[in-house]
Structure 1
């Protein structure tokens, strides 16, 4: 499998971790979470969507591919992975794409880190309609101050009972807190890894 990074290659359970719109699979946030999960006994598979592969080749910034192409690329990765059941997810856009692949047989659950419910300042452009019908378990980890969906907005979001939401203290879209909050970015990454690893092991019946 080209264009893939695997952390914890020999670990028994698998999480596919897709990147967000603006940065690829080797971004610091992606690395930190992947390595943290690998330490917890989870095999983490990262990949770049096609537009990000092209950026890596020539250095030119491109907008993301259209959703059908992103979903096709994600599904190809799922099909290549040697696991009967796995958890899929991603950062922002990557998590949103994963949430549209819940019907794939191999997929036991989904995990979304910073779900982009709407563009910042445009709550009327809501992108979470399908979440009301989600049947498989899904974890959403959301920064309390995320401008793509703040904590106080969640009362207005129609989410399936299969979705579990956990908030990252004072986090923005990348889970970074303000210095004045008393929290640190590293603490929030640690919290993210703890909550995410526990969820993955729970849905895959691993302790």
Structure 2
């Protein structure tokens, strides 16, 4: 089911994948280089409803409008904040999340919006080759909310070992920023996606619903 939501920067779309008896809603935004068709977002949306989690994939207004370049972070945050009431619904707890730029949006706004946790998929800790341009403060800003980072072991935007000590993190073997793995990788693409969905399901099971 697709629902539209009005924001200050245009119309957004929410792609709903509902659980029959949901205990939580997991809201996920997409990255700056792609949309809700990303392999990790689709795998989570296909799997989590069987675990009692309703998944909402949020398509930002710039993407709905067919633009190829994402706007400034403040604009992304404003749209996410405006559509949050549609995600929260009738009082069900919501976990804020996303991949890449969408993860940054979730981290920056989760506490203000009343999220019960934050899921950061492929968090862009720094631009490729520029570790001095760290965005660790955005990730730290989610505290004390439960936060999980799922990161490709070979992500040029930040490998797992580059994250601050104490970060709740699951590494995807051989995965890049889009969680793609080489054809020769022992884990295989399906195995890499299974690592993601199983880790997210297990983490969400520990959150109050």
TM-score per shorter chain, which class? 0.7 to 0.9
Specify the alignment match of 1:23 in structure 2: 34
Specify the alignment match of 2:48 in structure 1: 37
2:17 maps to 1:7: yes
C-alpha distance 52-11 of structure 1, shift in aligned 2 (>3 A): farther
User: Would the aligned equivalents of 1:50 and 1:65 in 2 still touch at CA under 8 Å?
Assistant: no
C-alpha distance 109-116 of structure 1, shift in aligned 2 (>3 A): same
User: Would the aligned equivalents of 1:86 and 1:204 in 2 still touch at CA under 8 Å?
Assistant: no
Look up the SS of the partner of 1:142 in the other structure: strand
- Determine the C-alpha separation between the residues in 1 that align with 2:200 and 2:134: 25
Give the counterpart of 2:116 among 108, 117, 124.
108
After TM superposition, the score normalised by the length of structure 1 is 0.86
Provide Cα deviations, 1:146-168, integer angstroms capped at 9, x if missing partner.
000013323xx3x6x5x411111
Provide Cα deviations, 1:74-116, integer angstroms capped at 9, x if missing partner.
1222222313421110111111110111323530000011000
Q: CA RMSD in A?
A: 1.8
Give the counterpart of 2:80 among 68, 74, 77.
74
User: Would the aligned equivalents of 1:14 and 1:86 in 2 still touch at CA under 8 Å?
Assistant: yes
User: Would the aligned equivalents of 1:120 and 1:147 in 2 still touch at CA under 8 Å?
Assistant: yes
Would you say how many aligned residue pairs link Structure 1 and Structure 2?
A: 195
For structure 1, the 5+ residue unaligned runs are 56-60
- Determine the C-alpha separation between the residues in 1 that align with 2:75 and 2:119: 20
For structure 2, the 5+ residue unaligned runs are 5-12
C-alpha distance 106-153 of structure 1, shift in aligned 2 (>3 A): closer
Specify the alignment match of 1:131 in structure 2: 139
- Determine the C-alpha separation between the residues in 1 that align with 2:161 and 2:136: 16
- Determine the C-alpha separation between the residues in 1 that align with 2:139 and 2:42: 27
Look up the SS of the partner of 2:181 in the other structure: coil
C-alpha distance 76-204 of structure 1, shift in aligned 2 (>3 A): farther
Which 4+ residue blocks in structure 1 deviate beyond 4 angstroms? none
